Structure 1
Amino acid sequence: MNVFRYDEVMSGLEDHAGDIVRKSRMGLGVSEADVVEVTGLSQKALEQFESEGSVQEEIQWEPLCERLQLHPEKFKSILDGWTPRPLQGESMPQIRQIATDDGGMEVNAYLVWDPDSREAALFDTGWNPDPIKKCIQQEGLTLKNLFITHQHHDHIAAMTPLRKLYPSMQLQAQGHGVPPKNQVSEGQMFSLGTLKIHARMTPGHASDGVTYVINGLSGDFPRAAIVGDAIFAGSMGGATAHFELAKTKIRKVILSLDQPTLICPGHGPLTTLKEEQSHNPFF
């Protein structure tokens, strides 16, 4: 029986190991008492682990993974401090990750452009339009499209000021309140200069979840998937009510893409398809 004492909070990832345990436990409907029984943790220690990602007691992590349907070696890699390899700008010269914070939650937006036409698309807005406007000006871009991965507030908070700044920008989204002419459908393709953007439905974390797969990029990654909160580096978005649906969509839509693919999550660091296949314990 492998036992691990985990007393350092993870850094660099959106979710620590305790978050992963909590999301899987709640998604599967497993009680805290069941986890206490298989891990040997006290109730207090489990609550601390799920909340803070740290615990002073020993964890029997193999039976924990079996009970929560987590891949044991991949979960151990999270416990051991894995983070995705940092990516340099030359690896993805047509993509900018723009992180904004409301004072408590950081969220990512992504600006993607065609190098010849300088046409650009924005994926989600984050909290603040200013860094988006600055990047558009610095790169000499024309903002053509705004694609929304899902309508949770942190992902669309800056939509109104951005639509005032760029009134010709075309909105594409899914779900309640989106006008029919702006609704995206499964497999719908959009052109951005020489780039091709395909909309793929990934409900689970959100009922209106969309992943946008971009083909034709230069650099190390000819393909990128803007995934919203469907999947994070080493984890996935919370999907208590639709856990199995969320996992199924991630497997079929995201993890089945060809290599190499850059994965651009709504929170946390950039990652790659290869790294998620090797380290994400949910799969």
Structure 2
Amino acid sequence: MSLQFHTVPVTPFQQNCTLLWCENSKRAAVVDPGGDLEKILAAVDERGLQLEKILLTHGHLDHVGGTAALARQLQLPVEGPHRDDEFWIAQLPVQAQMFGFPPAETFTPDRWLAQGDTVTVGEETLEVHHCPGHTPGHVVFFHRAGKLALVGDVLFAGSIGRTDFPRGDHDTLIRSITEKLWPLGDDVRFIPGHGPMSSFGQERQSNPFVADKRFG
């Protein structure tokens, strides 16, 4: 697969920040730089990559806390999430204080994303799927050729995202997973926002929240 990836766990929440790069061009995107920028940049340097943009799945602190600083430092454009998460980004300084994180700055993405959009990483293209429920503006990035999805906090190995935050909604999240993600294919592997990778097929079999048998 010419789209490569490497995850770098960041912040006390061990959030999976992901480097995505195009093997042909060595141009890369960093997905959800929640913090620990020196760790992220070390991983970039180690692989000889050229960062060209920041991609965001949703507006929670552990996913976007380092965005403003990284964008300013390297003059990178920011794409995502969906505009419905604007209120979360506006609250970043308060979130950081509340959770004892380093100060986090607000920012305005260069491009808000919506269902049906695409984003590029080097010569590779990923589809954007709007998957609300955990947050109202959550998006998932899907590389169809490589059967790889970056699902943020929508779905985990054996679990699903929390829905007890402001404007979270459990029923909406279940619909996002079963109606937006499952049709992409059982053989799609996914990188969640926390924890190990899995596949949609595996979760349809055994995930206690969204396994097919729950809906049969």
TM-score band w.r.t. shorter chain:
0.7 to 0.9
Equivalent residue in structure 2 for 1:245, among 150, 168, 172: 172
Match of 2:71 in 1: 163
RMSD: 2.0
Structure 2 gap segments, 5+ residues each:
91-106, 211-216
Q: Give 1:267 deviation, angstroms.
A: 1.0
- Aligned residue number for residue 149 of structure 2: 225
Which residue does the alignment assign to 2:194?
267
1: distance between equivalents of 2:59 and 2:175? 21
Q: 1:236 aligns with which of 150, 160, 166?
A: 160
Instruction: Report how far residue 191 of structure 1 moved.
Output: 2.4
Separation in structure 2 between the aligned mates of residue 160 and residue 200 of structure 1, nearest angstrom: 24
* Kept after mapping to 2: 8 A contact 1:99/1:126: no
Cross-structure match for 2:207: 280
CA offsets per residue over residues 84-116 of structure 1, 9 Å max, x none?
xxxxxxx998110110233xx221111110001
Match of 1:191 among 120, 123, 127: 120
Distance in 2, matches of 1:153 and 1:257, equals 28
Q: Which residue of 2 aligns with 1:96?
A: 6
Q: 2:148, 2:180 → 1: CA distance?
A: 12
| Contact residue 172 and residue 184 of structure 1 kept, 8 A | yes
C-alpha displacement at 1:148, in angstroms?
A: 0.7
| Aligned counterpart, 2:135 | 206
Bigger proportion of residues as strand = 2
Gaps of 5+ in 1: 1-90, 217-221
Rate the CA distance shift 1:119–1:194 in 2: closer, same or farther, 3 A: same
CA distance in 2, matches of 1:140, 1:93: 15
Aligned residue for 2:68, secondary structure, equals helix
Deviation string, structure 1 residues 158-212 (Cα, Å, up to 9, x no partner): 1122113311x22111221675851112111122233211111011010111111
Once the 2 structures are TM-superposed, how far is the Cα of residue 258 of structure 1 from its aligned partner?
2.2
Asked if 1:118 corresponds to 2:26, the answer is yes
Higher relative CO (CA 8 A, sep ≥ 6), structure 1 or 2? 1
Q: Which residue is 1:172 aligned to?
A: 79
* Separation (CA, whole Å) in 1 of partners of 2:110 and 2:61: 22
In 1: Cα distance, 2:73 partner to 2:47 partner: 17
Contact 2:78–2:109 under 8 Å retained in 1: no
**Which residue is 2:44 aligned to?**
136
Q: Return the alpha-carbon distance in structure 1 between the equivalents of residues 28 and 110 of structure 2.
A: 20
CA distance in 2, matches of 1:115, 1:154: 28
Give the 3-state SS of the residue equivalent to 1:198 in structure 2: strand
C-alpha distance after superposition, 1:201-236 (max 9, x if no partner): 0110101111111233xxxxx221111100111110
Aligned to 2:103: none
Paired residues of 1:234 and 1:281 also in contact (CA < 8 A): yes
Larger radius of gyration: 1
Determine whether 1:147 maps to 2:66.
no
State the alpha-carbon separation in 1 of the partners of residues 18 and 171 from structure 2. Answer: 28
Q: Note if 1:109 corresponds to 2:34.
A: no
Q: Which stretches of structure 1, 4 residues or longer, exceed 6 Å deviation after superposition?
A: none
Q: Equivalent residues in 2 for 1:10-159 (5 A)?
A: 94-102=4-12, 105-159=13-67
Letter of the aligned partner of 1:112 in structure 2? L
